[in-house]
Chains A and B, each alone.
Chain A
Amino acid sequence: MKVPYLMADPKIAEPDHPEEDWKIWTVINPATWMVPFFAILFIQMWIIHWYALALPGYGWKDSVRVKEPVAVVQPAPEQKVAQVQVQ
């Protein structure tokens, strides 16, 4: 797959993707950069899960699903009813 390079100099090699993706390792030494790369992945993982678990319905905060309390209709208790003052 030919990937367009913005403003790139065509004289510089244009690797084919994904067939020539392996060439990245001729530039970046994984013995040096694999662990730092994974560290960045961990930070990204924390950020994404922090957000996702904060969403309503997810995470420990919403893990207990209580039945919706049914609205109970009953007459107001006696003493709460307003008394008419007869003058």
Chain B
Amino acid sequence: MAESKNLSGLTDEQAKEFHEHWKHGVWSWVMIATVVHVVTWVYQPWF
């Protein structure tokens, strides 16, 4: 089947590939933020 034209211009494979990198970034941010929150809580609990 000819490559389906998506709104964004990315093919489905490109979208899936980019999403893997996106997920990697989101989880890295979540992990780092979790560590920082734990350290901040140890320094000073906020409630």
Q: Across the interface, do B16 and A22 meet the contact criterion of CB distance under 8 Å?
A: yes
Place the interface of chain B in its size category: 10 to 19
- When each residue 16-51 of chain A gets 1 if its CB lies under 8 Å from chain B and 0 otherwise, what string results? 000001111111111000000000000000000000
Task: Provide the main secondary structure of the chain A interface.
Answer: helix
Task: Give Cα A70 to B9, complex, Å.
Answer: 70
Q: Across the interface, do A25 and B15 meet the contact criterion of CB distance under 8 Å?
A: yes
CB-nearest residue of chain A to B8: A29
Q: Chain B interface (Cβ within 8 Å of chain A)?
A: 6-10, 12, 14-16, 18-19, 22, 44, 46
Q: Chain A interface (Cβ within 8 Å of chain B)?
A: 21-30, 52, 55, 57-58
